[in-house]
């Protein structure tokens, strides 16, 4: 009689197929052990990777803190990167948190706004512009310079004009001083699909610019006045920031954009230079410290997870949107 573990059925040696059954059990047992070993191997590899990542993160963070703590004087850099909109890395709350921290640091010899953005929200851009102007007046001994990377257009240029000087790369894209609102019209689409449109409003103009209705001329004129009004605010801010350096050519405010070198000729920017150049040659300080607020790694993960779960829940419940 042969046994295969305590819980396995005893194999009868008189059974002509007992050898096959024994081999099957041995094979299954071996596969189970291999799968278990593979799972543990993956687990420990992930654990080791997470540990090494944490060490690297803490090491870089510690190096940054050490460098900052040793400096007796410094140039503070604050990034304005990506779309300028509420809730992004380039919204007013995030950018101004870094700018205020830079102004409050007694070692700060100058501040550089490191810009690489196509623009975005007029409101967020204006909030940043006005606060930088206020802080410059309050701290007259701390200059603020803007350095544009690949792009500094529209709302990003709006913000840059609050700086004392603007520096670019010859291939940077600058300008685009204008305001736009875009969308689509699907007036006949629903009829062709056999879909009935049901729009309920309170207020004669609440359905303004509805994409499934023809554009009303009065609504079009109203929206144009709104855009022109915001555009005038933009122009006023740029004129205030750039002053007499700005060319008299009205094309500057037409929404066009130019290369960095052309921007110098038009008075949109002041010169060619990167962050290191401005810190060393303009401000006169070698030590550059990044003051841009960085969200915690685990917080970003938790926020993204929470947002994803909320979206899935809303889809499952079929929740619609109610907007003012």
* pLDDT-derived band at 60, boundaries 50, 70, 90: low
- On average, the pLDDT of the chain sits at 83
Which of the pair, 56 or 324, is modelled with greater confidence? Answer: 56
Q: Over 70: is that where the pLDDT of 215 sits?
A: yes
Domain 72-294 -> CATH class:
alpha beta
CA distances from 121 to 50, 82, 84, 98, 291 (A): 38, 12, 6, 19, 23
Q: Over 90: is that where the pLDDT of 76 sits?
A: yes
* pLDDT-derived band at 319, boundaries 50, 70, 90: very low
The domain segmentation of the chain, as residue ranges, is: 1-70, 72-294
pLDDT tens, position by position, 267-317:
999 999 999 999 999 999 999 999 999 875 555 544 554 545 445 444 444
Counted residue by residue, the chain has a size of: 324
**What is the predicted pLDDT for the residue at 264?**
97
Which alpha helices (H) appear in 204-286, and where do they start and end? Answer: 217-242, 260-266, 275-277
pLDDT more than 70, % of the chain: 78
114, β-bridge pairs: 79, 147
Cβ atoms 183, 259 nearer than 8 A: no
Token code pair at residue 312: 């899935």
Q: How far apart are CA 37 and CA 97, in angstroms?
A: 49
Q: Over 50: is that where the pLDDT of 320 sits?
A: no
Model-level pTM?
0.72
pLDDT tens, position by position, 225-268:
999 999 999 999 999 999 999 999 999 999 999 999 999 999 99
84-88: average pLDDT: 94
132, β-bridge pairs: none
pLDDT more than 90, % of the chain: 55
pLDDT tens, position by position, 2-47:
444 444 454 555 666 666 776 777 777 777 777 777 777 777 777 7
Which of the pair, 321 or 93, is modelled with greater confidence? Answer: 93
């Amino acid at each position: 009689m042969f046994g295969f573990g305590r819980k396995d059925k005893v194999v009868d040696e008189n059974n002509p197929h007992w050898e096959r059954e024994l081999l099957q059990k041995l094979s299954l047992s071996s596969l189970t052990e291999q799968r278990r070993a593979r799972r543990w191997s993956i687990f420990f590899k992930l654990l080791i990777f997470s540990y090494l990542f944490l060490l690297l993160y803490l090491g870089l963070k510690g190096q940054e803190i050490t460098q900052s703590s040793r400096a007796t004087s410094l140039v503070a850099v604050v990034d304005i990167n990506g779309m300028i909109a509420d809730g992004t890395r380039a919204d007013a709350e995030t950018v101004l948190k870094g700018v205020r921290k830079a102004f409050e640091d007694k070692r700060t010899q100058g501040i550089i706004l490191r810009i690489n953005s196509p623009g975005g929200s007029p409101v967020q851009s204006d909030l940043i512009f006005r606060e930088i102007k206020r802080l410059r007046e309050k701290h007259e001994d701390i200059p603020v310079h803007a350095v544009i990377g690949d792009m500094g257009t529209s709302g990003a240029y709006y913000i840059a004009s609050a700086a004392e000087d603007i520096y670019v790369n010859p291939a940077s894209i600058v300008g685009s001083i204008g305001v736009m609102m875009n969308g689509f019209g699907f007036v006949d689409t629903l009829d062709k699909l056999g879909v009935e449109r049901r729009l309920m409003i309170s207020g004669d103009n609440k359905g303004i610019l509805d994409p499934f209705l023809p554009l009303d001329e009065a609504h079009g004129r109203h929206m144009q006045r709104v855009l022109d009004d915001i555009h005038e605010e933009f122009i006023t801010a740029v004129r205030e920031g750039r002053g007499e350096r700005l060319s008299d050519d009205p094309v500057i405010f037409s929404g066009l954009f130019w290369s960095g070198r052309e921007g110098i000729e038009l008075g949109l920017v002041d010169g060619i230079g990167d962050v290191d150049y401005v810190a060393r040659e303009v401000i006169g300080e070698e030590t550059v410290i990044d003051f841009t607020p960085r969200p915690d790694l685990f917080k970003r993960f938790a926020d993204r997870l929470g947002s994803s779960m909320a979206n899935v829940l809303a889809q499952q419940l079929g929740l619609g949107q109610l907007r003012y």
